[in-house]
Amino acid sequence: MKIMKICTALAVGTIAYSLMLITPAFAQKKPKLNDAEIASVAVTANQIDINYAAIAKEKSKNAAVLEFAKTMANDHKSVIDKAVALVTKLHVTPKDNAVSRSLNANAEKTKKELRAKSGKAFDKAYIDNEVAYHKAVISAVEGVLIPQAHNAELKALLQSVDPVLKTHLEHAEMVQKQFVGK
């Protein structure tokens, strides 16, 4: 089933040895989100990747990883700025919910695991997580957020973010090749 595939995708959306992920929020019966909650999830998901990029900027010395992290920070900030502008225009206040809370809770665990690493081990863990995280977010955007968005402009914004996420995934996979077998 589509939802189980999303849950599976989200379940592997982290660095390999992490036990907890985004799974809890999406692994229950299909979450029903209203537009305020969708906006909150969208902003949260983007902010999480900005936070991961900040750790990479602090810890990595690999040029390709640093360039990638810089792009992630800038691009996801652009998405957040667009989302905030839209919800302001629509007089919608993003509403915290079980999904956004679960995203944040699992991100805290991932951040702790990343901070515990250094050197090439960190670089590999960071980029592996970026690949997995973007796959999970793409699945959630396509499978839950876009279909459930009611407002046409919110739906259009989410649809325009989808190619950004896919390009990020492709870029992350390209950088990941440096660390294959290491």
Partner 1 sequence: MYSCSGGFKKAPGVYHVQIKDMKFQPADLIVDKGDTVEWTNEDMTDHDVTEDAANGWHSAPLATGKSWKTAIYKNTTYHCNIHMVMKGNITLE
**Interface positions with partner 1 (CB under 8 A):** 71, 74-75, 78-79, 82, 160, 163-164, 166-167, 170-171, 174
Between 74 and 88, name the residue whose CB sits nearer to partner 1: 74
Q: How far is the CB of 32 from partner 1 (least distance, A)?
A: 28
- CA dist., res. 134 & res. 118, Å (int): 22
Q: How far is the CB of 66 from partner 1 (least distance, A)?
A: 13
Q: How far is the CB of 119 from partner 1 (least distance, A)?
A: 23
Give the pair of three-digit tokens for residue 148.
Answer: 């459930």
Between 115 and 177, name the residue whose CB sits nearer to partner 1: 177
Supply the DSSP symbol for 178. Answer: G
Between 104 and 159, name the residue whose CB sits nearer to partner 1: 159
Between 11 and 73, name the residue whose CB sits nearer to partner 1: 73
What torsion do the CA atoms of 114, 116, 109, 148 make, to the nearest 10 degrees?
0
- CA dist., res. 156 & res. 70, Å (int): 26
Q: How far is the CB of 78 from partner 1 (least distance, A)?
A: 5
Between 101 and 166, name the residue whose CB sits nearer to partner 1: 166
Instruction: Report whether 171 contacts 61 (CB < 8 A).
Output: no
Amino acid residing at 69: A
Q: How far is the CB of 163 from partner 1 (least distance, A)?
A: 4
DSSP sequence for 65-115: HHHHHHHHHHHHHHHHHHHHHHHHHHT------HHHHHHHHHHHHHHHHHH
